[in-house]
């Protein structure tokens, strides 16, 4: 059985992005090339939301 540590690197770009945000790193610290699938996945992890999800519309009062 293998043991993991909190200091082991994440296995995927989404986890890497989430860890970067948790560590207080800037969003522009993404190590992946522009327009790559890994970069989009890293941003999903950093933002905590899937890229395909549309932003929520503002709530209007009636």
Instruction: Decide: helix, strand or coil at residue 56.
Output: coil
Query: For residues 24 and 3, what is the distance between their CA atoms, to the nearest angstrom?
Result: 26
The dihedral sign for the CA sequence 20, 21, 24, 26: positive
pLDDT in 10s for each residue of the chain, 62 residues? 444 455 555 569 999 999 999 999 999 999 999 999 999 999 999 998 887 765 666 777 76
Tokens 């890293």 correspond to 42
The domains of the chain are located at 13-47
Instruction: Decide: helix, strand or coil at residue 46.
Output: helix
C-beta separation of 14 from 51 below 8 A: no
Per-residue pLDDT, 53? 64
Per-residue pLDDT, 17? 95
């Amino acid at each position: 059985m293998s043991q993991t540590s909190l200091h082991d690197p994440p296995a995927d770009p989404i986890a890497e992005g989430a860890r970067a945000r948790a560590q207080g790193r800037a969003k522009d610290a993404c190590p992946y090339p522009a327009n790559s699938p890994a970069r989009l996945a890293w941003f999903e992890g950093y933002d905590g939301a899937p890229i395909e999800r549309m932003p929520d519309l503002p709530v209007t009062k009636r």
